[in-house]
Chains A and B, each alone.
Chain A
Amino acid sequence: MKHLADNIKDSLIVGGVAFLLFGPFLGLQLTNGTSGNLGLATRPMLLAIAVGLSIVARFLLLLWQDHRTTRVPAVKLAAAVAKSGKYVAPALLIVTITLPLIPGIDNSYIDLGVLIMTYVMLGWGLNIVVGLAGLLDLGYVAFYAVGAYSFALLSHYFNFTFWECLPLCGILAAAWGIFLGFPVLRLRGDYLAIVTLAFGEIIRLVITNWVSLTGGPNGIYDIPHPTLFGLTFDMSGGPGTVSNFFHVDPDPSQRTTFLYYIILALALLTNWVTLRLRRQPLGRAWEALREDEIACRSLGINLRNTKLTAFAIGAMFGGFAGCFFATRQAFISPDSFTFIESATVLAIVVLGGAGSQLGVALAAVVMIGVPALLQDLQIYRMLIFGIALVTIMVVRPRGFISTRTPSVSLGKAKIISSDMISEGHG
């Protein structure tokens, strides 16, 4: 309790800041005046509650920080979290696989699962670029858009099906990744972040304005749904549909379940490829690049090619996810590919712990699942969400799982704590 006086002082200062901040927003309210003109009312109680909460929250936070620095060694905690990952990951996988098979489960939950897994896949794709190679990409949505529009346009103009387009979308997105990467990757740090952000916007603006090709802001309709070996999920139940073939009643949940397993397979593919690559020269070169670019160069590693492969492979998975997004929605427009999508995916990666596959998956569940499940709380939804995010960043500033498992070891692999690991400079 030696810091008690300091802590109280700090909390009161925070209270003062909160007063200044909340004063105009919460303390004052515009009302209808007596003769139709604007009147001004005060809300002292609300303001007092907000300021009081700020002071108490700050005080508790400081107490907790004291407790943490004195009691819990960060390394031990990190190791415990990483160790528990051994059991959490398979458990999570089993739950994910069996979720749609739970009898009587509401279709909306399966649909939410599809949405979450789309973001898990995007997070894993971006994790290659940000988490492994340490290149801050703020325009990841560009590749998502390329994938989605590739499929939409190919199906619209040439009647390609989902399964034909899926590999094409990945290839096209990877090609765009390389195309964008060439001029961009000589930049580092903040400059790289700004230019990737700009490229994300350029792609969206081109799609919006090239009306003759893409339909502009109106988007593209009637994108075909995926088929199961040629069988459609049509509600009519006629010949050539799944329900007719298997002699079951047509039900919208059949298609949702099918989509669910497609995105699950795609996400697991992303994860598998990433995990394999991490144990290979390429993956190790990415991580080495994140740690020290100059040392990499002195060891004969071609920086440009190594960065480009990270960009291209990350983009490829973004393209797959985009293709899936288009087929799931059956309608896409430029509104789906705004900067906020890039920011959400990046937040998932950072929150989960850059470089950690399990962390990213958990973060996607929290970032996408929680706001959707809190729908009933209406306006308090975003407040709770915001508080949760701030709490996580205070408690675990390097993300849920910030430790690193070595890709190769002579003896028993030891978990590397986050304070050794560099975050990359660009």
Chain B
Amino acid sequence: MGDTLLTVTELTMRFGGLTAVNALSFNAKRGDITAVIGPNGAGKTTVFNCITGFYKPTSGSIAIAHTPGASMLLNKLPGHAIAKKGRVARTFQNIRLFGGMTVLENLLVAQHNELQAATGFGVLAILGLGKYRAAEKAAIERAKYWLAATNLIDRADDPAASLPYGAQRRLEIARAMCTDPVLLCLDEPAAGLNPRESQALNDLLLKIRADGCSLLLIEHDMGVVMKISDHIIVLDHGKKIADGTPLEIRNDIAVISAYLGEGDDDDPDAPIAETLAAAE
């Protein structure tokens, strides 16, 4: 339990007449795995897109503290600077890899800004001068580290599109980690994984946390959420309905009614509700 890393204050996101996120405030602590859960359409991915700069929030602020006490407003940064200056990395719900490039190339693209700085505006590197060679070597070493951590080292020279689904998920995490983030945002990392892959994912996320990177995670798989998160935020209809440790969330009346519905027959999230109920 450390100090606050991410502070979201009164975040509101409207699309025309639809309010996807309504005056949401929450904190994520440094060194924690913070999970954002909620029924489908609760606004989880919208919150993620605001934090990672893909949407400009209608109102409210998102601040990140790289060192205790310091604060940087993420909602004031241009989109690409969120990863570069804000040091917030993300993965996508539908995997977005560079399919025609090899696994290793994917990880080198992630280190673009550092490598580009070493090329001397590209001119020196074209002529084979300067420190680019050393920078590339270091980048490959870092890529190898994450390839080993995600168990992809044997596939390093294969095109990303040729990997099986679970490996693509891991590669996307490895690629995000190569940007050297302080906060990694994962949008449903366990979706479509089998139980064994899911377990491996848990281990990977715990390793990332141990390496000093905090995590923010959207997840439907309660097995993953309850086991590894330190802190859970529950959203429903764009509002926060609960905020606390896994144990507190399990016993929260509002959460249970949001998932199970209040005497409502129409229940789109039955499997999750069952899992949640079974976990009690």
**Best-surrounded residue of A287, A404, A416 (most CB of chain B within 10 A):** A416
Point out the residue from A285, A294, A407 that lies within 8 Å of B96, measured CB to CB.
Answer: A294
Residues in A with CB closer than 8 Å to B140 are 408, 410
Q: B24 near A: Cβ within 8 Å? A: no
- Closest Cβ of chain A to B149, distance in Å, is 16
Please determine whether B96 and A300 come into contact, CB atoms closer than 8 angstroms: no
Q: A277 near B: Cβ within 8 Å? A: yes
Q: A72 near B: Cβ within 8 Å? A: no
Q: B105 near A: Cβ within 8 Å? A: yes
A287-311 CB mask vs B (1 if < 8 Å, else 0) is 1101110111111111100000100
| A406 to B53 CA separation, bound complex (whole angstroms) | 31
| A297 to B52 CA separation, bound complex (whole angstroms) | 10
Please determine whether B157 and A292 come into contact, CB atoms closer than 8 angstroms: no
- Closest Cβ of chain A to B186, distance in Å, is 12
Please determine whether A420 and B159 come into contact, CB atoms closer than 8 angstroms: yes
| A301 to B108 CA separation, bound complex (whole angstroms) | 12
B172-203 CB mask vs A (1 if < 8 Å, else 0) is 00011001000000000000000000000000
Q: Considering the complex, give the chain B residue whose CB is closest to the CB of A411.
A: B157
Point out the residue from B79, B97, B116, B136 that lies within 8 Å of A295, measured CB to CB.
Answer: B97
Q: B110 near A: Cβ within 8 Å? A: yes
Please determine whether B156 and A295 come into contact, CB atoms closer than 8 angstroms: no
**Best-surrounded residue of A282, A296, A408, A413 (most CB of chain B within 10 A):** A408
Number of A-B pairs, beta carbon distance below 8 Å? 135
Residues in A with CB closer than 8 Å to B96 are 292, 294-295, 298
Please determine whether A291 and B126 come into contact, CB atoms closer than 8 angstroms: no
Q: Considering the complex, give the chain B residue whose CB is closest to the CB of A403.
A: B100
Residues in A with CB closer than 8 Å to B111 are 281
Q: A65 near B: Cβ within 8 Å? A: no
Residues in B with CB closer than 8 Å to A295 are 92, 96-98
| A300 to B85 CA separation, bound complex (whole angstroms) | 8
Q: Which of B134-190 contact A (CB under 8 A)?
A: 136, 140, 144, 156-159, 161-162, 175-176, 179
**Best-surrounded residue of A290, A296, A303, A404 (most CB of chain B within 10 A):** A296
- Closest Cβ of chain A to B40, distance in Å, is 22
Point out the residue from B100, B105, B122, B158 that lies within 8 Å of A277, measured CB to CB.
Answer: B122
Binding site for B on A (CB under 8 A): 273, 276-277, 280-282, 284-285, 287-288, 290-292, 294-303, 309, 404, 406-414, 416-417, 420-422
Between A and B, 21 residue pairs with Cβ closer than 8 Å are A276-B125, A277-B122, A285-B109, A287-B98, A295-B98, A297-B79, A298-B52, A298-B90, A298-B176, A299-B175, A300-B80, A301-B80, A406-B102, A407-B105, A408-B105, A409-B102, A409-B156, A410-B140, A414-B102, A414-B157, A422-B99
